[in-house]
Amino acid sequence: MDETLYIPPKPNSLPAVIALIRSLWKGDGNLLELLPAEAYHFDIGHLGRSRRGTVLFNRPSAVKEIMRDEQGVFPKSDLMVGALDPLIGESMFVTDGPKWRRQRAMIDPAFSLMRLNVAYGAMCAATDDHVAAISESADSGEPFSLDLAMSHLTADVICRTVFSTPLASDVAKEVFEDFTLFEKSVAQVDILGMILKPAWSEIKQTPEVLAACERIRHHIGALIDTHLDAGEGEYNDIASAVIEATDKDTGLPFTRDELIDQLGVFFLAGHETTASALTWVFYMLAERPEWLARLREEIDPYMSEGDLSFEATKKLPLTRAFFKEALRLYPPITFVPRVALEKVEIEGKRLPRGALVMIAPWTLQRHSKYWEDPHAFK
């Protein structure tokens, strides 16, 4: 391996048993540290031993078969569905089959409002506000949390594009704080339970987390009510598009509870994921100032009027490549869990009913078979 390569932080890979002992000792439910060293090399393999069986698939053809799930035998994992149920109920993020297809068909028109050229203005306004706040912190010389700053930024962008309200509003602030509590709870996987409990066991959240979920749903409902009570055409955002959506067969819209489920997904799926990606991007730029200089050299010619236009963002190949490589090394979604509804065989691997079927962008994108110097930023 080239000694000049830049290898940003990653978990220290250990043999399976030692990795398990480390994870149990630390008690933080970090699945990345639970991954054994061999997970970055095999095509299909077990992640330790467990009552239900946990199998990681790194072979692209097997991953494609599982994700397509033409036979309907690999729904979203019961562990994920159970953990998210108090917050987003039966939203499209956790449903499968006909229910998912109905929800997706109804929400499709709202996705048109998520096109960057539509949301770009709101994104820039949020970014300008947060750059000013970060600049104040930098000028003061006081340390601050970059991760928290990026979380505030992405939450603000979501609030502006979904509900046409900035994060500065009291309701949006409370939603952000409770989402942060919920996301930390979901990220802390019960490793012992995953090993010892059978499939489809009840997932229990703490009273504190359940209370946070109730507050989030209450606040999202309040934001929805501002749109339900508004005059026709007053809003042109994602929330208004989802509210106007109807079932093509029945003509019925989403109920208020269903709206809370679906719009909660936009916040959950787009908040911490994007914040994580941005945090790692800025971390690596701070460690490699020569890359920062190259990106600025590419961007500066388009900043003559002080703002970067949406059209200009399409003319930045080096910047795009930098973000793509950052996303390869630090995918915001590290695991995509599924569960086997019945005994099934995938490319020669037999799975019992209830087996936890793991697809991990983290290992696929650092796999020794598909990448030269897989942990290096190149």
Going through the chain in order, the beta strands assigned E by DSSP cover 44-46, 54-57, 336-339, 344-346, 349-351, 356-359
Q: What's the CATH number of domain 81-287, 1.10.630.10, 3.30.365.10, 3.50.50.60, 1.10.10.60?
A: 1.10.630.10
DSSP β-bridge partners for residue 351: 344
| Predicted local distance difference test score (pLDDT) of residue 28 | 63
Match 């100032």 to its residue by tokens. Answer: 289
> Would you say 360 and 54 are in contact if contact means Cβ atoms under 8 Å apart?
no
| Predicted local distance difference test score (pLDDT) of residue 357 | 95
| Predicted local distance difference test score (pLDDT) of residue 1 | 41
Q: How many CB atoms lie within 10 A of CB 220?
A: 25
| Predicted local distance difference test score (pLDDT) of residue 2 | 47
The rounded distance, in Å, linking the Cα atoms of 93 and 282 is 29
State the maximum Cα–Cα separation within the chain, in Å, rounded to a whole number. 63
pTM of the full predicted structure? 0.89
The rounded distance, in Å, linking the Cα atoms of 292 and 286 is 8
| Predicted local distance difference test score (pLDDT) of residue 354 | 94
The rounded distance, in Å, linking the Cα atoms of 246 and 106 is 6
The residue ranges of every structural domain in the chain are: 81-287
Match 């929800």 to its residue by tokens. Answer: 103
Please give the chain's pLDDT, 378 residues, in tens. 445 889 999 988 877 777 777 777 776 657 788 888 899 999 999 887 788 889 999 999 999 999 999 999 999 998 888 888 999 999 999 998 889 999 999 988 777 766 677 788 999 999 999 999 899 888 998 888 888 889 889 989 988 988 998 877 677 677 778 888 887 777 667 777 777 888 888 888 889 889 989 998 998 898 899 999 888 888 888 899 899 999 989 999 999 999 999 998 888 888 888 999 999 999 999 999 999 999 999 999 999 778 899 999 999 999 999 999 999 999 999 999 999 999 999 999 999 999 999 999 999 999 999 999 999 999
> Would you say 365 and 331 are in contact if contact means Cβ atoms under 8 Å apart?
yes
